[in-house]
A = this chain, B = another copy of it.
Amino acid sequence: MGREIGLCLVYRDMWQSSGKYMPRVDQLVKVAEPIIDMGCFRRVETNGGGFEQINLLYGENPNISNRAWTQPFNDAGIQTQMLERGLNALRMYPVADDVRKLMFKVKKLQGTDISRSFDGLNDARNLEKSIDYAKAGGMISQTCLCITYSKIHTVDYYIKKAEELINLGAEEICIKDMAGIGRPVSLGKIVAGIKEIKPDILVQYHGHSGPGFSVTSSLEAVRAGADIVDVAVEPLSWGTVHADLLTVHEVLKDAGYSLPGINMKAYMQVRTLTQEFIDDFLGYYINPKNRLMNSLLIAPGLPGGMMGSLMADLENNLKSLNKWMEKNNKPLLSQDDLLIKLFDEVQHVWPMMGYPPLVTPYSQYVKNAALVNVMQMEKGKARWSLLDDNTWDMMLGKSGRLPGEVSEDLKNLAAEQGREFFEGDPSELVPDCLDELRKEMDENGWDTGEDDEELLEYALHPQQYLDYKSGKAKADFETDLAQRRAEENTPPTSTIPGIDHTWDLGPKSIQVDVNGERFNVNISYDDHETSASQSQETSAAPPYANGHLKEILAPLEGKVFLTKDPSETAKKVGDTIQEGDVICYIEAMKVVNAVKADQSGTIAEVCIKDGEDIFDDDVLFKLN
C-alpha cells in the first residue's frame, strides 16, 4: 500500500459554487451525521467564504449555525476548516485589523479548526496578519496559492510565493485552483517545489471541475506529494463544483495510494439529504447550467464558483441589451453570443488590469469590467467608459501589489481622473472599529454575544446584520422565495429543444407571513414590470418629447439606490444638478457603480425608487 492520502469534503463550497444560498442550520446538522458515517473524511469545510453572510441574508444567525454544524465533527475528531479572504476576511472589501483578529478567535471557539486564508492578488503581505491572528486564535493557519493561468503565473512564480508564505509562518499550503484551470502537470511541479522547500509541510489540493482538469490535477498533485484532496459529493459534484469523491477515490486507489473506504450507504444518505435541501428551497437559487462541464472556461480562466452569479448577470444584461437592440433595429444576441463576447473581453482586459488572479473578488472585478465594456461597446460606446471605484482601487494598489503592470491606457485614464497609485500596506487603510461598534451595540441594548461573536458579525457585515436584526432580511428572503415558487407554476411560452427553457411569466399577488407580520407582495416579471412602468411609457416617446423635460438614463442594469450610505442626501425634485455630479448608485454584479449626470438641470421628476431593479436605459431622472 502506498502513502496515505486524506480527503476533505468541502460541503460549504459545494453549495456556494452551485448557487446563492447554504442549507439552514437544521439541515446542516441533519447531514453532518451521515457525512461522519461515510468514514472517509479527514476534514470537512464547514464555514467561511460566504457562509456567515448568507445566513444573515436569509435572516438566520450565522453564529448559531456555525456552532451547531461544527459540533458533530469536533466530537467525531474530524477537522473543520473555513475559508477566509485575508484583508477582506469574510466579506468583499477590507476589514479593520481588530475585526480580523477577533474573527479567528471567535471561529476557533465556535468549533472551526483550520483557517484557509487567501489573498486574491497572492500578495503575501496581505496574509501575514491572517497567519499571525489565526495562530493567536488557536487555529491551524493554512494559506493559499490562488491558481490562475497566464504568462506571468509560472510554476516558479508559485513556488516562490509559497516560500514567502512559509517564511511568514504558514503551517499548511493550499493549492487553491478555484477556476480549475491549473494545468495538471504544472500543478504537480508546484507541489513538488513546495515539498522541496519544506518536505513536512501539509499540502492540500482544492480544484473546481468546470474545465475538466480537476481529477487529473488531483492525481498529479498527490503524486508530487500533496497530502489532502478536496472533493464534493453527488448531486452537487462536477460542473462548476469539485470532482466527485467516488471518482477521486478510485483514481488514487488505482494509482496505489492508501485511502479509507467509503460507507456507500452513508454516501447515498448524504446524497438524498442534499437533494432534499435542493428541493426544499436551495434549488430555486441554483442555475442548472452550473452542473455542466465547460471547456470554454479554459481561455478566460474564470472560476467555476462564480459562474452562477455570472449566468444570472448575463441573463439580466442580455434582456437589457436586447431591449436596446430591438429599439435600435439591431439583431438580437443569444445568451451564448454574449457569453463568448464576454469571455473574449475578459482575455483582452485581464492583462491591461495587471493580471489579478481570477479569484473573488478580483474575478468579479475583471468579469464586471469586461461585461460592462461589452455592453457599452455593443451600444457603440467606448471601452472603460464605466469603471467602478472598487476596481480602480484594486488597479491603484489599494488591495495589494498586482502580479502584473496596469496598462498605459488605464494609467492615463487614472491620471485624467485624478486617481493616485498606492504603494503602502493596504491593511493600514482601514482603522480599527470594534470599540465604537461595541459602544453602539451597548446603546441599542444589543448583546455582543458569546465570545463577542455578535459584535464580530456586526463588524463584518454591518448592513446585513442590521437587516437580520430588524427582520427585514428574513422578510425579503421569504418574499423572494415565495415569488420563485409562484413563478415555477406559471407556464412557459417557448423552449429550446432538449436543452433549455425560457419562461414567460404572468403577474401575481401573494401574501407572506414573516414572524407573524403580514406582507402583501405584488409580483411582476420582465416585460410586465410594474415598477418599470413609468420608464416603459417614456421610452416609447422620442427624447425630450415629454414636454420639455430632459432624461437621465440608467447606464447599466441593476439595483438602484439614491444614496450609498446614511450620510448622503438623496437627490429630490427641485435639486439643481451639474453634468458629472453623482446622482445615484446602481449595484450590479456585486459592485456599486456611481451614476454621474450626463447633463445639467433641475430635477423635475425622480423616476426611481430606492432598491428597485432597473434595466439600462430606464429613465432615472427627468430634468427641466
Residue numbers of A with Cβ under 8 A of B are 19, 183-186, 209, 211-213, 215-216, 219, 234, 237-239, 243-247, 250-251, 254-256, 264, 268, 275, 278-279, 281-288, 291-296, 298-299, 336, 340, 484-485, 488-489, 491-499, 501
Chain B neighbourhood of A298, CB < 8 A: 246-247, 250
A251 touching B498, Cβ below 8 Å: no
CA separation between A225 and B288, bound complex, in Å? 39
Give the Cβ gap from A216 to chain B, nearest Cβ, in Å.
Answer: 4
CA separation between A314 and B278, bound complex, in Å? 23
Chain B neighbourhood of A287, CB < 8 A: 498
A498 touching B185, Cβ below 8 Å: no
Contact of A215 among B215, B244, B496 (CB under 8 A): B215
27 A-B pairs, CB-CB below 8 angstroms? A184-B255, A185-B255, A209-B293, A211-B247, A213-B215, A213-B251, A216-B219, A234-B295, A237-B295, A278-B498, A278-B499, A279-B496, A283-B497, A283-B498, A284-B498, A286-B497, A286-B498, A286-B499, A287-B498, A291-B291, A291-B292, A292-B292, A293-B293, A484-B497, A489-B493, A491-B491, A491-B492
Q: Of all chain B residues, which has the CB nearest A334?
A: B275
Contact of A247 among B278, B285, B295, B492 (CB under 8 A): B295
Copies of this chain, tallied across the complex: 2
Q: Of all chain B residues, which has the CB nearest A256?
A: B185
Task: For the complex of A and B, list the 6 residue pairs with the smallest distance between their C-beta atoms, beginning with the closest.
Answer: A283-B498, A283-B497, A183-B254, A491-B491, A244-B295, A238-B293
A219 touching B184, Cβ below 8 Å: yes
CA separation between A282 and B492, bound complex, in Å? 21
B495 touching A488, Cβ below 8 Å: yes
CA separation between A239 and B238, bound complex, in Å? 10
Contacts A234-B296, A293-B239, A499-B288 given; indicate if A216 touches B251 (C-beta within 8 A): yes
Give the Cβ gap from A147 to chain B, nearest Cβ, in Å.
Answer: 13
B336 touching A254, Cβ below 8 Å: no
CA separation between A285 and B183, bound complex, in Å? 35
Give the Cβ gap from A1 to chain B, nearest Cβ, in Å.
Answer: 14
Give the Cβ gap from A489 to chain B, nearest Cβ, in Å.
Answer: 8
Q: Of all chain B residues, which has the CB nearest A212?
A: B247
Give the Cβ gap from A425 to chain B, nearest Cβ, in Å.
Answer: 36
CA separation between A234 and B294, bound complex, in Å? 8
Q: Of all chain B residues, which has the CB nearest A485?
A: B497
Chain B neighbourhood of A183, CB < 8 A: 250-251, 254
Chain B neighbourhood of A278, CB < 8 A: 497-499
A244 touching B212, Cβ below 8 Å: yes
Best-buried of A239, A281, A293, A484 by chain B (most CB within 10 Å): A293
A288 touching B213, Cβ below 8 Å: no
Q: Of all chain B residues, which has the CB nearest A298?
A: B246
Other A-B pairs beyond A246-B299, A279-B497, A287-B498, 18, CB < 8 Å: A19-B498, A183-B251, A184-B251, A213-B251, A215-B216, A238-B295, A244-B293, A246-B295, A247-B298, A250-B298, A264-B299, A268-B340, A278-B497, A279-B496, A286-B498, A291-B291, A488-B495, A488-B497
